[in-house]
Amino acid sequence: MINYPRSDKTGLGRLIPSWKLLLGTVLTLVLIGAGLFALAVYALPVPQPNDVAIAETTKVMYADGKTEIGRIGDVRRTSVPLTDVPEDVQLAVLAAEDRSFYDHGGFSPEGISRAVWNNATGGSTQGGSTITQQYVKNAYLSQDQTVLRKGNELVLAVKLETLESKDEILANYLNTIYFGRGAYGVEAASEAYFGKSVKDLDISEGAALAAVIQSPGNYEPELFKDRLMERWNYVLDGMVEKEWLTQAERDQITFPKFKKQEKGNQLAGQTGYILETVKDEMVAKGWSEAEIDGGGLTITTTIKQGAQEAAVNAVKAAGPTYNAEGLRVGLIAVEPQTRRIQAMYGGPNYLKSQLNNATQGRAQGGSTFKAFGLAAALNDGYSLDTVLNGSSPATVDGYTLQNFGNSSYGPVSLLSATTHSVNTAYVQLESEVGVERTIHAAEKAGLPKDTPGIEENLTFVLGSPSPRPIDMANSFATFAARGMYAEPTILKEVTRNTGEVAYRDEDTGTRVFPEDVMDNVNYALQSVVTSGTATRASWMGRPAAGKTGTTDENMSAWFVGYTPQLSAAVMLAKEDKKGRPISLNGTGGIYDVTGGSFPTAIWTEFMSAALADEPVEYFVAPGSDYSTSTPTPNTYGQQTTATPESTRTATATPTADPTATTDPTTEPANPEPALPSPPQGQQREQLPAVPPEGTVTQQGRRRVRRPPTL
């Protein structure tokens, strides 16, 4: 029985409890508290880790799989096993944050008491939390400084110690804690501060990382070096105190050198365009944004670092700079055999404009679309010797049009019409083959069916639709691959943080055109480079084929060209401050910006650098056997010796067409003087004069919408 009020006392003495009662009460409360705590530990489930705790940054790499392009996700973190963290680094962290980690059961009464005493007496502020408590707070709880949250933290820390080993807890802590510089986890911190993996850290560097944990912002080495050094010494002295380090060893350790802090946005320049393209394709293939942003993936892209640098340098070196406000330049290159994107130029800086001109930008294709008419005709049984009417002006099915400068060629072969981009001949060809069949050939090559401007009228072959550079590079890659089509991709391989390969590009493509048809297409489009509207491309010094494109009033200019190894498209367009398309005239100091000017110059600069270390390959000559072709002289001053599988046979030089009769008084002018003169006279494309945009005319019985551009 409890003797209270005390029966053996009188007056106020009855109300004063005995020491036995006080002791019993305290012991009872302690037992009750301990029981409730034990019950809480037993009953309270360990929640799922929060998003920050499980999120890992996704690394995006160049095609070599070793060089990093950038990272996706706000959390910069990469988990590593504890065995990858040097023991000295582990001990440095313990010396900084929890020297009795391997001795306590989740919390340290001594540490809590010391923290309470220091805080109460005005000493250095201390939290008293163990590493287990810190991990619980970061992984499972909020950062609120409330009694309830601290109670939950204590209970979960003890609970966790019963479920996981000390090494497991330490590993999770090291992979979760924030180190500053946007780095979560010791691996990301090692890269951020020292530019190397944690497994390569020495004891001095490990002590420095351990030192910043307490307050990363207050120990940033570039701002507070002296403060950090003081904390660094505290860590090393603690290691000596715990006998993890001898004093002699301690005396030999010097303060480390740090990597400069990365400043600016990691999406600057071309990086943002590449990362967004990667994300878009990942989403299209079924990956969730959550897994992409925080799944700890390693994405190896198809982008080759050398080719990517070549793309950026080509636009800088050969692109217009004068009167270039509002200019949009897009460049993209794909490998014909695999359709892997090797390089892209989406714009000057992703931070200033997020529109990727290589994969999202559009402009009317102009005469580049003649290549689709060529493929459709050859696939339909026509030959390069087929004679067409190149007279100007000409009326075809009620549609009256002209060649550029009203140049009249008279009877002209399909080969010559391709070389000189003769509009009247190509519209006649499209009329005979059929607009629908011409459109179908373009779609088989790679032009998306939803490309704006595709209509079943005669303007299609003159390029009234508005494709993207990726569409054109991929379509012409079908020609380079001798009729094999595949979807373009920027993904080479995706690996999970477990090492499992989750995706690997293995698309082999589908045949859409016969090889002999493509050999003739390639032969004809080579003549555009050797003696047509894109002779600047011949300066590269290796066989190339392609087609220029310039639209009405110079609203856009293109060159899409390829070698057997690489297909690339360059697009130029211009907008005013309100985003409305305007003429390219005057850009770069050139009155008429055509496909044969800046686009071809940029393309040549890019391809020369991108293929500098690649062997020269040749297109298969029409009618030849790929495996047994003999060496043939070519227009590039070279001669090839045929070798199995690795060398293609050179095509013969296109000869002058006897059917082509050109009035020299109406021959197109030479290239603009603002650009270097090519080795031989270059002709501009032949463009018809057309009514203003949107004009609809009645020609005979057929109502024809005139193209705004050609």
Are 540 and 673 within one domain? yes
Question: What integer pLDDT is reported at residue 13 of this predicted model?
Answer: 65
Segments in 254-325 forming alpha helices (H)? 271-284, 289-294, 305-318
For CA atoms 637, 643, 648, 650, the dihedral sign is positive
Looking at residue 685, its pLDDT comes to 40
Question: Which residue, among 207, 251, 231, has the nearest Cα to 90 in the 3D structure?
Answer: 207
Same structural domain for residues 107 and 221?
yes
Which of 136-145, 237-246, 262-271, 561-570 shows the lowest per-residue confidence on average (mean pLDDT)?
136-145
Quote the pLDDT of residue 109.
Answer: 55
Tell me, what CATH number does 156's domain have? 1.10.3810.10
What span, in angstroms and rounded, lies between the C-alpha atoms of 75 and 52? 7
Are residues 399 and 548 located together in one domain of the fold?
A: yes
Q: Which domain holds residue 672?
A: 314-495+510-612+667-705
pLDDT over threshold 70, residue 633:
no
User: Rounded mean pLDDT of 7-30?
Assistant: 67
Structure tokens at 104: 């306590």
Query: Does residue 353 share a domain with residue 205?
Result: no
In percent, how much of the chain has pLDDT > 90? 61
CA 96 centroid distance within chain: 40
Range ranked top by mean pLDDT from 44-48, 60-64, 215-219: 60-64
Residue 45: is its pLDDT beyond 90? no
Amino acid sitting at position 454: I
The pLDDT score that the predictor gives to residue 658 is: 36
Question: 546 with 467, same domain?
Answer: yes
Structure tokens at 568: 């690339």
Catalytic pick among 56, 97, 276, 430 = 97
Task: Outline where DSSP puts E strands in 371-456.
Answer: 387-389, 394-396, 399-401, 411-413
Domain count along the chain = 2
Has residue 36 been placed in a domain? Answer: no
Quick one: which of 325, 353, 336 has its CA closest to 267?
Answer: 353
Residue 339 lies in a domain: yes
Which of 207, 224, 252 is a domain's end point? 252
Nearest of 128, 156, 147 to residue 53 by alpha carbon: 156
pLDDT at 314: 98
454 found inside a domain? yes
Q: What is the CATH number of the domain that holds 675?
A: 3.40.710.10
pLDDT (average), residues 452-478: 97
The yes-or-no verdict on residue 587 having pLDDT over 90 is yes
- Give the mean model confidence (pLDDT) for residues 586-593: 93
What pLDDT sits at residue 308?
Answer: 98
Residue 452: what pLDDT? 97
Is 50 exceeded by the pLDDT of residue 707?
no
pLDDT value at 497 more than 60? yes
Does any domain span residue 26?
Answer: no
Confidence of residue 164 (pLDDT cuts 50, 70, 90): confident
Instruction: Examine the domain organization and report whether 320 and 239 are in the same domain.
Output: no
Are 327 and 457 in the same domain? yes
**Looking at the structure, do residues 544 and 404 belong to the same domain, yes or no?**
yes
Among the listed residues 79, 108, 190, 367, the single catalytic one is: 367
pLDDT band (50, 70, 90) for residue 394:
very high
Within this chain, do residues 328 and 237 fall inside the same structural domain, yes or no?
no
Residue 96 lies in a domain: yes
Residue 133's alpha-carbon distances to 29, 375, 569, in angstroms, are: 25, 70, 57
Average per-residue pLDDT in the chain? 82
Q: Determine the pLDDT at residue 182.
A: 84
Q: What is the pLDDT of residue 252?
A: 95
Q: Is 150's pLDDT higher than 70?
A: no
Q: Would you say residue 642 lies in a domain?
A: no
Q: How confident is the model at residue 679 (pLDDT cuts 50, 70, 90)?
A: very low
- At 631 the pLDDT is 33
Q: Is residue 177 part of a domain?
A: yes
Residue 115 predicted with pLDDT over 90: no
Burial of 381 (0-12, 13-18, 19+ CB in 10 A): exposed
Residues 326 and 231 in one domain: no
Say if residue 521 is in the same domain as residue 601.
Answer: yes
Whether residue 65 is contained in a domain is answered as: no
Which region holds residue 124: left if phi is over 0, alpha if psi is between -120 and 50, else beta?
Answer: beta
Residue 640: is its pLDDT beyond 80? no
Q: What pLDDT score was predicted for residue 638?
A: 35
Most confident of 108-117, 140-149, 162-171: 162-171
464, 428 Cβ separation under 8 angstroms: no
Q: What is the mean pLDDT of residues 313-334?
A: 97
Looking at 230, 252, 274, the residue that finishes a domain is: 252
Q: Summarize the confidence of residues 54-62 as an average pLDDT.
A: 87
Query: 675 and 544: one domain?
Result: yes
- Boundary of a domain, candidates 210, 235, 252: 252
- What pLDDT is stored for residue 603 in this prediction? 98
For position 239, what pLDDT does the model report?
97
* Least confident piece of the model among 581-585, 627-631, 638-642: 638-642
Query: In the Cβ-directed half-sphere of 433, how many Cα atoms lie within 13 Å?
Result: 34
The answer to whether the peptide bond before residue 644 is cis (omega within 30 degrees of 0) is no
The pLDDT score that the predictor gives to residue 36 is 53
Looking at this protein, which amino acid is placed at residue 116? V
> Is 97 one of the catalytic residues?
yes
Instruction: Please check the confidence at residue 229 and state whether its pLDDT lies above 70.
Output: yes
